[in-house]
Amino acid sequence: MKSANIILVGDGAIGSSYAFNCLTTGVGKSIGIIDVNRERVQGDVEDLADALPYVSQKNIYAANYEDCRYADIVVITAGVAQKPGETRLQLLQKNAAIITEITNQIMANDFDGIILVASNPVDILTELVLRLSGLPRNRVLGSGTALDTARLRSEIGRRYNVDVRSVHGYIMGEHGDSEFPVWDFTTIGGQPIRDFVPASRLAGDLDAISTQVKTAAYSIIQKKGATFYGIAASLTRLTAAVLNDDRAAFAMSVHLDGEYGLHDVSIGVPVLLGANGLARIIELDLNAADAKRLADSAEILKANLNSVL
């Protein structure tokens, strides 16, 4: 069992929602928050402390990078947020500079834990953190398509009036416009979705679900300016899987070294997540079309990664 010390870097809408979610769900024993806006951090610490009488007790504090030496997991949500009409890839240049500085600060303080990246474009920044930190690939992970997979399950559950916990499947590829659902491995109550959905509706429904999931962030950002509850919940669950050694399955951005025929790229694929971070990459037997979608998505990420290396 880990000591369950969490350091959060980035106290914006996502970071503060994540800290609150960890507090109310009992994830972690200690949460230290780092942000360039120290006054905001102190305000959040005081605000979060007011909730302690109603939740599991933990230490919440304004941290600095020296505290990373005691952390089991560092969660990075810092960076410029996506604006209405903007793609995640358009954030790359600004956020790469921010994430480079953060990674150097973390590693300068004898950090020996797991880094979970949520800043966008998350796949490219995960690969950047991996290369800058020198940590093994099992200890540098991106939230990847974990949120997109949750959106997939939610949309299927809503559309067919089924408990989302009975829906299983994955979104793979970039956390972005080249992502795709893996319909061959999507089930409802154990039954393949292609058998569950009436044949007359199948093609239209699958296309509609795929589009809904892919464009969900754009819709939310257009309406309220940012997405944060869904990704905060995803990050909380991923953190719990590490701290509790759950060995649970998620779609996450991880560095591939031959899996799916891909190299030198971090991209969203199914994994088992546990105390040491990446416990195993789950290699699905993709059909030819999906294998090409994944390879094409990887090429997009590689081309953009090269622009910041």
DSSP state at residue 55: S
- List Cα–Cα distances, 221 to 82, 85, 181, in angstroms: 8, 8, 22
- pLDDT of the residue at 82: 74
What is the pTM (predicted TM-score) of this model? 0.95
Whether 304 shows a pLDDT value over 60: the answer reads yes
Residues 278, 89, 308, CA angle at the centre, nearest 5°?
80
For residues 57 and 162, membership in a common domain is answered with no
Q: What is the pLDDT of residues 34-51, one digit of tens each?
A: 999 999 999 999 999 999
Q: How many CB atoms lie within 10 A of CB 40?
A: 16
Q: What is the pLDDT of residues 274-289, one digit of tens each?
A: 999 999 999 999 999 9
Give strand pairing partners of 278: 273
Question: Which residue is it, tokens 């994540």?
Answer: 18
Give the CATH number for residue 292. Answer: 3.90.110.10
175 assigned to active site: yes
For residues 155 and 194, membership in a common domain is answered with yes
For residues 153 and 186, membership in a common domain is answered with yes
- pLDDT of the residue at 1: 44
Q: What is the pLDDT of residues 132-168, one digit of tens each?
A: 999 999 999 999 999 999 999 999 999 999 999 999 9
78: containing domain: 5-142
Question: Which residue is it, tokens 């416009």?
Answer: 177
Count of domains in the chain?
Answer: 2
Q: What is the CA radius of gyration of the chain?
A: 19
Average confidence (pLDDT) over 172-183? 96
168, 175, 255, 263: the catalytic one is 175
